[in-house]
């Protein structure tokens, strides 16, 4: 049976921790042995490999299963204390298991008096203390890298590390602007604290849909969000349409939960466009990614036409020509006509995307 996209997302996250632990620990092991000018000790390498597998699975289970791959909502120092305690317990347990497995090879029983004595002797060894400290620091480093990666997305994260955006770089991107309907009325009805929690739940669902459709949230401004893809990645798969469909379905499935918590449910409208922009890092301290170009303004103005035309999803002719046909999820395109958008010298053709009524209520 095929995995659901939620299961795939969790599986990918656990794989990240597993691969990170294996790559980093083996890399350090080979580097240390090279620095000591000794030949590769394969027994040590295999032992470290065992430890890294246990730690990768343990780390992944904590972040993905226990914390549900979300931000820890406890206060910072309590969350750090609990996380650090978990890492130390996990490291110690992994070392004990690996020592027992390593020394119990060929014996009938895993736990014997000799194997327990080996564990005690190992934990008295200063080299084991050094290993525990190194693995503890590595745990926090891997968590930090994952947190930064989640914040910026794979493409921006990698390119920023490589220094690609230090100078302005031209890129061909698809932008999608999603805006919440009735946001002002909802904010007045809920009050600022409840509305803030409402937005957090709303954007949590949106970010999950973005991750599943390889989109990156470039910017969140109040009740609106810009999402982007490389145009080349949308030519064979209509990712913006898939995202719109998934987010719509996601909000429909969580409608009862929003009603129970807030007494109101979110709805949204969206506009999408594509074209060339300039990507660059702006600022010195606390710098951030920025996209400059007319594409973003045009995308925002296309979205603003949704209310005027009574539509939920509008795209430009340029994007429609880029997307593969037929459109997914039985979406039907309709020419809404040419519109002169503010700041544009020429009118652009706008398409609305709709699903047949039979598909709206399966």
The confidence score (pLDDT) of residue 183 equals 86
Percent of the chain exceeding pLDDT 70 equals 86
**Predicted confidence (pLDDT) per residue in 14-24, tens digit:** 888 999 999 99
pLDDT at 1 over 50: no
**Mapping DSSP to helix (H, G, I), strand (E, B) and coil, where does residue 85 land?**
helix
The confidence score (pLDDT) of residue 361 equals 46
pLDDT at 271 over 60: yes
Contacts of 198 by beta carbon, 8 Å cutoff, 6+ apart: 186, 190, 258, 261, 262, 264, 266
The domain that contains 328 carries what CATH number? 3.30.70.1230
- Residue 73's pLDDT band (boundaries 50, 70, 90)? low
- Whether 141 and 267 map to the same domain: the answer is no
Q: How many domains does the chain have?
A: 2
Residue 254 DSSP symbol: T
- Whether 252 and 232 map to the same domain: the answer is yes
CA distances from 217 to 143, 150, 159 (A): 21, 10, 16
When computed from its CA atoms, the radius of gyration of the chain, rounded to whole angstroms, is: 26
- Whether 49 and 121 map to the same domain: the answer is yes
- Whether 235 and 284 map to the same domain: the answer is yes
pLDDT at 72 over 80: no
Contacts of 272 by beta carbon, 8 Å cutoff, 6+ apart: 174, 175, 176, 177, 240, 299, 302, 313, 314, 315, 316, 319
- Whether 162 and 105 map to the same domain: the answer is no
Residues 78, 61: Cα–Cα separation, whole Å: 19
pLDDT at 154 over 70: no
- Whether 139 and 209 map to the same domain: the answer is no
The number of residues in the chain equals: 362
- Whether 183 and 324 map to the same domain: the answer is yes
pLDDT at 286 over 80: no
Average pLDDT of the chain, as a whole number: 85
- Residue 362's pLDDT band (boundaries 50, 70, 90)? very low
Residues 315, 186: Cα–Cα separation, whole Å: 27
- Whether 158 and 298 map to the same domain: the answer is yes
The confidence score (pLDDT) of residue 65 equals 82
pLDDT at 70 over 80: no
Sign of CA dihedral 118, 119, 125, 127: positive
Q: Which domain holds residue 61?
A: 5-152
pLDDT at 66 over 50: yes
Taking residues 34-53, what's their average pLDDT? 87
Domain boundary among 152, 179, 210: 152
Residues 109, 184: Cα–Cα separation, whole Å: 67
Domain boundary among 152, 182, 207: 152
Domain boundary among 93, 124, 152: 152
pLDDT at 138 over 90: yes
Higher-pLDDT residue of 49, 279 = 49
Pairing relationship of beta strands 268-282 and 313-316 according to DSSP bridges: parallel
Percent of the chain exceeding pLDDT 90 equals 37
Nearest to 153 by CA among 279, 54, 260, 33: 279
**Four-point Cα dihedral 33, 46, 60, 97, nearest 10:** -120
- The predicted model scores a pTM of 0.73
pLDDT at 313 over 80: yes
Nearest to 247 by CA among 272, 211, 298: 211
- Whether 171 and 228 map to the same domain: the answer is yes
- Whether 188 and 263 map to the same domain: the answer is yes
- Whether 241 and 93 map to the same domain: the answer is no
- Whether 74 and 103 map to the same domain: the answer is yes
The confidence score (pLDDT) of residue 134 equals 93
Tokens standing for 209?
């849909």
**Four-point Cα dihedral 307, 172, 9, 244, nearest 10:** 20
The confidence score (pLDDT) of residue 290 equals 79
pLDDT at 268 over 60: yes
């Amino acid at each position: 049976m095929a995995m659901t996209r939620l299961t795939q997302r969790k599986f990918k996250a656990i794989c990240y921790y597993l691969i990170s632990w294996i790559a980093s620990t083996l890399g350090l092991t080979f580097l240390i042995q090279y620095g000591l000018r000794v030949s590769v000790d394969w027994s040590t390498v295999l032992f470290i490999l065992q430890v890294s597998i246990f730690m990768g699975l343990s780390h992944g289970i904590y972040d993905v299963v226990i914390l549900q791959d979300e931000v820890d909502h406890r206060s910072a120092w309590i969350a750090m204390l609990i996380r650090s305690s978990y890492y130390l317990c996990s490291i110690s347990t992994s070392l004990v298991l690996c020592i027992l497995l390593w020394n119990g090879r060929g014996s009938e029983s895993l736990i014997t008096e000799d194997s327990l004595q080996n564990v005690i002797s190992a934990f008295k060894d200063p080299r084991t203390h050094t290993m525990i400290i190194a693995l503890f620091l590595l745990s926090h480093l891997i968590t930090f890298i994952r947190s930064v990666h989640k914040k910026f997305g794979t493409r921006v994260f990698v390119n920023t590390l490589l220094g690609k955006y230090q100078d302005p770089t031209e890129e061909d991107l698809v932008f999608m602007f999603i805006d919440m309907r009735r946001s002002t009325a909802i904010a007045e009805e809920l009050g600022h604290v409840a509305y803030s929690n409402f937005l957090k739940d709303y954007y949590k669902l949106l970010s999950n849909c973005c991750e599943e459709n390889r989109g990156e949230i470039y910017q969140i401004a109040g009740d609106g969000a810009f999402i982007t893809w490389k145009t080349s990645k949308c030519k064979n798969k209509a990712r913006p349409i898939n995202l719109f469909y998934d987010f719509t379905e996601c909000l429909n499935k969580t409608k009862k939960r929003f009603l129970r918590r807030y007494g109101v449910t979110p709805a949204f409208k969206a506009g999408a466009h594509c074209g060339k922009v300039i990507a660059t890092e702006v600022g010195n301290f606390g710098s951030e990614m920025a996209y400059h170009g007319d594409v973003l303004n045009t995308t925002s103005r296309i979205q603003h036409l949704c209310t005027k035309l009574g539509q939920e999803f509008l795209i430009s002719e340029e994007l429609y020509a880029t997307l593969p046909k037929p459109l997914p999820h039985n979406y039907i395109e309709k020419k809404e006509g040419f519109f002169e958008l503010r700041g544009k010298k020429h009118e652009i053709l706008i398409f609305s995307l709709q699903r047949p009524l039979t598909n709206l209520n399966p």
